[in-house]
Structure 1
Amino acid sequence: MELQNFDKMGISFPFQAKQKKLLLVLIGVVLITILVLYFGFRKEKIPSDSAPPAVDSQKKERSLEEIELDTSLFKNPQYQALKTDGAGPIEVGEAGRENPFAPY
């Protein structure tokens, strides 16, 4: 009966406060998980008025054909005076061991 009196007087024990905090954290984690699952995996509806891929690629191809490049840069003497720094083409060497983790 004495324990009931402690409860009525508003006395709380430290383990009860820790349990309340743990319960609140657990509820928060569960809510965040539910929100991530709901909004993350929800399927987006594709609008019906979107152009089919073939039409879209044709538009892109036409826009690429309209691009004009100025190649006079390559005839510029300053550009032609530029020199390559370092060795020429990179040569591919031999591959390593078949199993690099095998002991020697």
Structure 2
Amino acid sequence: MHRKGEALVELGGEPEDWARFNHYVASIAATESHILATSPRGNCYGIWDKATRELLEINALPDASGVVVKNGEFHVSSGIGRVVKINADLAKQTFVSGIQWDNHWSAIT
């Protein structure tokens, strides 16, 4: 994690947590309170607390690809057509879109 004028700071997680990402992160997005990173090779995404840098959870999602923030909520795409919407309390809703997404995602409003 980096803030202008400050040194780089590592996000938390045990070596076995980081191994779940299979040496590859495709997309990263941040809200006011959380950071989310996707890993299509690891078939997962992770969520960190922005203030403490603690890894809060790693969730399975086949071919987890893109992530954007819209209205303070994460939207995570997958190459198998799933989209996961995650609100500020980290509650999740999963939708099937029928589109095979990659990690090149942008929110257009």
Q: TM-score range by the shorter chain?
A: under 0.3
TM-score normalised to the size of structure 1?
Answer: 0.19
Q: Larger helix proportion, structure 1 or 2?
A: 1
Larger radius of gyration: 1
Q: Which structure has more strand as a fraction of its residues?
A: 2
